[in-house]
Amino acid sequence: MTATIEVRNLRTHFFTRDGVVKAVDDVSFSVASGEVLGLVGESGSGKSVTGFSIMGLVDPPGRITGGSILYQGKDLAGLSERTLRMLRGNRIAMIFQDPMVTLNPVLRIDTQMIEAVRAHAPVSHSQARTQARDALGMVGIPSPEERLSAYPHQFSGGMRQRVAIAIALLHNPDLLIADEPTTALDVTIQAQILAEVQNLAARNGTALIWITHDLSVIAGLADRIAVMYAGRIVEAGESEAVLDRPLHPYTAGLIGSVPSRNRRGEALRQIPGTTPSLLRLPPGCAFRTRCARTDAMCEQEPPPAEPLPGRMARCFHPLLPVPA
Amino acid sequence: MTSVVLPSSRPREETPFRRFVSQFCESRLALVGLAVFVLIALAAIFASLIAPQNPYDLAQLDIMDARLPPGSSSSVGYTYLLGTDDQGRDMFSGMLYGLRISLGVGVGSAIFAAAVGTTLGLIAAWFGGKIDAAIMRLVDLQLSFPSILVALMILAVLGKGVMNVVLALIVVEWAYYARTVRATAMVERRREYIEAAECLALPWRRILFRHLLPNCLPPLIVIATQQVARAIALEATLSFLGLGVPITEPSLGLLIANGYQYMLSGKYWISFYPGIALLVTIVSINLVGDQLRDVLNPRLSR
Amino acid sequence: MTVPMIELRGLSKRFGRSYDAAERMSRAVARRFGARLTDDTVRAVDGVDLSVMRGEVVGLAGESGCGKSTLGRMVAGIMPPSAGQILWNGQDVATLPPDRAKEVRLKVQMIFQDPYASLNPRLRVAEIVGEAPRVHGLIANGGFDEYVDQQLRQAGLDPAYKRRYPHQFSGGQRQRIGIARALAVQPEFLVCDEAVAALDVSIQAQILNLFMELRRTLNLTYLFISHDLGVVEHLSDRVLIMYLGRIVESAATDQVFSHANHPYTQALLAQVPRIEARKRRFTTIKGEIPSPLSPPAGCHFHPRCPHAFERCTIEAPVLREIAPGHRSACHLNDQG
């Protein structure tokens, strides 16, 4: 199965007044058609910037400083803005945490969706409207014909996110990047959105990169998981394997912090300390200031290793299962 | 025992003020504007030391030296750098003293109007309901009249004089402050740190002036710089029309008015140089105000 | 039977617009011509009864628009109720004399959701934490610095940084500052309004552990408001589920999570993503949460309830005890 998208050694740095922030530092992964990759990390891990880098939406003072993003053999990192614009919203689409990032509050939904359709396809106004109406129906919006004439503020938060998803899927993209789209939504609405996206991706063979900090959401959704910390992927593998038998101490710490993994009333297992500032990363392994297993070796940056087949971990002391 | 947590970054002592200053200095134009304004302000303050002549002292004036072009020498010995007006007054000295009046009136009225307007705006935002309605109707009433008209009416009643002009300007200006501060305060009032202050049972006066006001400052500062420029221009207009400061204490506006009749007969300098001074003052204030607006705005949307 | 520390009786909060003369006239005219105009009143909290005993942690769970935050603010004294009573140790707080009322006010403190908006950005940390105790005379003369240091340490912060401003701290640290500020006035009851919702998972664990520790060391009582059922389950002794302003179920934590009675609670629990779950098809409750401006008649949940019948559309079910300590508001319980 050829990969829809393959990211190799991606580096995106932000050149700020206070120094260089290596938001994404040597990140590699690939996603095949119909596959769901969960990109997991906390704030400052670089997961969102990775998504923006693939879309070419990194604004100054940031830019992609190294690596390649291969889509159908072409390196997206080197393409002109014009070419990227033809791909964006067409073959590669993105949805965001706040649907109002996608939706213009002063335009009606049909205006916006028709514009999105005709940006990449030479169809007539009425044909575009029909497509828009069908797209709304597909994402589960009741009475789509009436809702087309509405404004974004007349929809609830969950509905708006559905509209944003509908717009993203208008041209049946090969790759959909979802940046925390359900974080701000209620559990019941979140479940609906997850169901819709799962459906649509499976039906159309869309590759899906789901960016989140919520391990519980990704557990039910993703085929594979990549865990990010301080701009690097510290662990990657099949989601069941990563969640049941994490190799990297950070992954284990994250899983351990989830309340449902702890006995009721007992202190939660917590990772001590806080994420280091990306301006002042300690040399070597970025996690070593908070890791119980650290030693002198960790002052060198751990390279991506494969301690078990199909599992990647950047750690000199991965939590290997004790051999029988 | 949970471990003690340190701030992950250890930056240099960075107060909000220092951050603000460094952001302000990013615009060279604004710095130029600030420098020019400071220069003008200093010139106005030290006018008595810089000016070769005290233009208010009738004894120093020589009517024979009236309407001399720039560069002429006076009977007393010094050069009339910018010429003289129809009273024999040295334009340069007249301008320096005039700047004093203009700046004094402009800044003074702005400060008092800000104090009055801000307090009323905060109270309106805090209490809401009828108090808010009453204050805002007053503001609406005030703002629906053209400022010149209101100022003229007040001065017609009170008569000419520097303090009367200041009073008139305060009455004209306070409403802008009240409206702006009220809008910001209404937003800030809903923020959780104000709710926290209420939860901690702090007295409302304390919350208003110690918590709410400092966070409503950004638009207030921007308005204030604009208003100072407006006040200076308004005072100039009033004096030009002959209803502002008295002849004995001419401001830039009055100087311009005095020389108006000579504009077309070749004696341009009597109006021209005060006009330039007024222009430069107002432009420099506006440049500073523009940069302030840019710096203070992004910080509002955190 | 000991007196509950906090008791709410029939507590309601209505948000509405009062129309001025011109609007009233025009609305009357419009109605005359047949326009159906609703009064824009939102029943954010609708007749809630609740008691919290000393030392308990009561979890209040529900989705957005259910009124839990409004309820929390009324308990903390920030928002005046429209109807009903709040009793502190048996006394109605509305009837207390001003100085006693202020005392009670300080005993109930709130931890807010947004660590970025809940601290005054213009004040230094020392001032944020120490202002209220100083104003209320809780600090002995000359003991300001020491008092502030102690509060900061209690919240897990290094007092050396108390001269810093909030923007120099991370989200988790700011939340600790907010906790120190609340503790500084020596409260007995803490209302935590989504206090960890805005934090990363690893920081969330730290703050939750801090809450549990403070409960032990300072003998605090909590009302823990959250939409995150995993967190609520871990922390609470008792759980209440709210939907559109009403409490629909109330029981001991393990009862709610293992023997949920109300259909909404059941659906909610079924949809919570669990880390143990593996790649699965997400089940959903049909429909959206109705707008609080026009809640469904009868039982608020009936349009989305798989078991709704006729009675549910007419009559609002009452919160009744269905098992010892377990109350639920559902007509299904009345059927034999």
pLDDT value at residue B229: 87
| Digit-coded pLDDT (tens) for C114-169 | 988 999 988 999 999 999 999 998 888 889 999 999 999 999 999 999 898 898 88
Contact between chains at B8 and A279 (C-beta distance less than 8 A) = no
Task: Compute the average pLDDT of residues C248-259.
Answer: 91
CB atoms within 10 A of CB B64: 9
The C-alpha atoms of residue B122 and residue B142 are separated, in whole angstroms, by 18
Number of H helices, E strands in chain B: 13, 0
Alpha helix segments (H runs only) across chain C:
21-32, 68-76, 98-107, 125-135, 144-154, 171-183, 201-218, 229-235, 253-258, 263-271, 310-314
pLDDT value at residue A324: 52
pLDDT band at C284 (very low <50, low <70, confident <90, very high): low
Structure tokens at A125: 């106004």
Contacts of C178 in chain B (CB under 8 A): 196
The C-alpha atoms of residue B126 and residue B120 are separated, in whole angstroms, by 10
* C37 falls within a domain: no
Q: What's the one-letter identity of residue C216?
A: R
pLDDT value at residue B300: 46
- Pairing of the two strands A19-32 and A3-16: antiparallel
Q: Where are the beta strands (DSSP E) in A33-113?
A: 36-40, 62-71, 74-75, 92-95
**Residue-by-residue DSSP string for B88-105:** S-BHHHHHHHHHHHHHHH
Nearest CA in chain B to A278: B9
Q: Does any CB of chain A come closer than 8 Å to the CB of residue C205?
A: yes
Contact between chains at C202 and A42 (C-beta distance less than 8 A) = yes
Task: Compute the average pLDDT of residues C321-328.
Answer: 88
Q: Between residues C284 and B116, which one has the greater pLDDT?
A: B116
The C-alpha atoms of residue A41 and residue A44 are separated, in whole angstroms, by 8
Q: Does any CB of chain C come closer than 8 Å to the CB of residue B198?
A: yes
pLDDT value at residue C283: 62
| CATH superfamily of the domain spanning A3-91+175-187+206-313 | P-loop containing nucleotide triphosphate hydrolases (3.40.50.300)
* C286 falls within a domain: yes
Q: Are A128 and A212 in contact (CB under 8 A)?
A: no
Contact between chains at B9 and A279 (C-beta distance less than 8 A) = yes
Nearest CA in chain B to A280: B9
Give φ, ψ of B188 to 5 degrees: -65, -30
The C-alpha atoms of residue A323 and residue B294 are separated, in whole angstroms, by 63
What is the residue whose two structure tokens read 């952001």?
Answer: B23
Contact between chains at B5 and C132 (C-beta distance less than 8 A) = no
Interface of B with A in 5-64 (CB under 8 A): 5, 8-9
pLDDT value at residue C278: 65
Contact between chains at B3 and A275 (C-beta distance less than 8 A) = no
Residue whose C-alpha is closest to residue C67's, from C318, C224, C247, C264: C247
The CA distance from B1 to the nearest CA of chain A, in Å, is 11
| Digit-coded pLDDT (tens) for B192-226 | 999 999 999 999 999 999 999 988 888 888 888 88
Task: Compute the average pLDDT of residues B183-199.
Answer: 93
Nearest CA in chain C to A272: C206
pLDDT tens-place values along chain A, 324 residues long: 568 889 999 999 999 877 889 999 999 999 998 899 999 998 888 899 999 999 988 888 888 999 999 998 788 888 888 888 888 888 999 999 888 888 999 999 999 999 999 989 899 999 999 999 998 888 878 888 888 998 998 888 888 888 999 999 888 899 999 999 888 787 777 888 888 788 878 888 899 999 998 888 888 888 999 999 999 999 999 988 999 999 999 999 998 888 877 777 788 888 888 888 888 888 888 888 888 888 888 888 888 888 888 889 998 888 887 665
Q: Is the pLDDT at C213 greater than 80, yes or no? A: yes
What's the total number of domains in chain C?
1
Task: Compute the average pLDDT of residues B6-35.
Answer: 73
Q: Is the pLDDT at C49 greater than 50, yes or no? A: yes
Q: Which of C165, C172, C206 sits opposite B16 (nearest CB)?
A: C165
The C-alpha atoms of residue A44 and residue A274 are separated, in whole angstroms, by 11
Contacts of C110 in chain B (CB under 8 A): 195-196, 199
Contacts of A159 in chain C (CB under 8 A): 288
| Digit-coded pLDDT (tens) for C237-249 | 999 999 988 999 9
pLDDT band at C12 (very low <50, low <70, confident <90, very high): very high
Q: Does any CB of chain C come closer than 8 Å to the CB of residue A77?
A: no
pLDDT value at residue B5: 43
Q: What's the one-letter identity of residue A128?
A: A
Give φ, ψ of A87 to 5 degrees: -85, -35
Partner residues linked to A10 by β-bridges = A27
The C-alpha atoms of residue B53 and residue C204 are separated, in whole angstroms, by 73
Task: Compute the average pLDDT of residues B111-133.
Answer: 93
pLDDT band at C227 (very low <50, low <70, confident <90, very high): confident
Contact between chains at C117 and B192 (C-beta distance less than 8 A) = yes
Q: Where are the domains of chain A?
A: 3-91+175-187+206-313
Chains in contact with chain A (at least 3 beta-carbon pairs closer than 8 A): B, C
pLDDT value at residue A167: 92
Q: Does any CB of chain B come closer than 8 Å to the CB of residue C165?
A: yes
| Digit-coded pLDDT (tens) for B46-66 | 888 887 777 777 777 777 777
Instruction: Supply the mean pLDDT for chain C.
Output: 88
**Best interface-test mutation with A: which of B9, B10, B19, B26 has the largest number of A CBs within 10 A?**
B9
Structure tokens at C12: 């309601």
Residue whose C-alpha is closest to residue A94's, from A41, A39, A146: A39
Q: What share of chain B is helix, strand, coil (3-state, %, to 5)?
A: 70, 0, 25
The CA distance from A85 to the nearest CA of chain C, in Å, is 34
The CA distance from C40 to the nearest CA of chain A, in Å, is 16
Q: Is the pLDDT at B8 greater than 50, yes or no? A: no
As a whole-number percent, the residues of chain B with pLDDT over 70 amount to: 92
The C-alpha atoms of residue C168 and residue C161 are separated, in whole angstroms, by 10
The C-alpha atoms of residue A123 and residue C190 are separated, in whole angstroms, by 60
Contacts of C267 in chain A (CB under 8 A): 188
The C-alpha atoms of residue C101 and residue A83 are separated, in whole angstroms, by 67
pLDDT value at residue B6: 43
What is the residue whose two structure tokens read 């970054």?
Answer: B9
| Digit-coded pLDDT (tens) for B281-301 | 989 998 988 888 787 765 544
The CA distance from A311 to the nearest CA of chain B, in Å, is 31
Contact between chains at A274 and B9 (C-beta distance less than 8 A) = no
Interface of C with B in 211-230 (CB under 8 A): 213
- Is the complex ipTM more than 0.90? no
Q: What letters, b where the CB count within 10 A reaches 16 and e where it falls short, cover C212-228?
A: bebbeeeebbbbbbbbb
pLDDT value at residue A38: 94
Contact between chains at C168 and B5 (C-beta distance less than 8 A) = no
Contacts of B199 in chain C (CB under 8 A): 76-78, 105, 109-110, 182
What's the CA angle centered on C295, arms C314 and A197, to 5 degrees?
A: 115
The CA distance from C285 to the nearest CA of chain A, in Å, is 7
pLDDT value at residue C282: 63
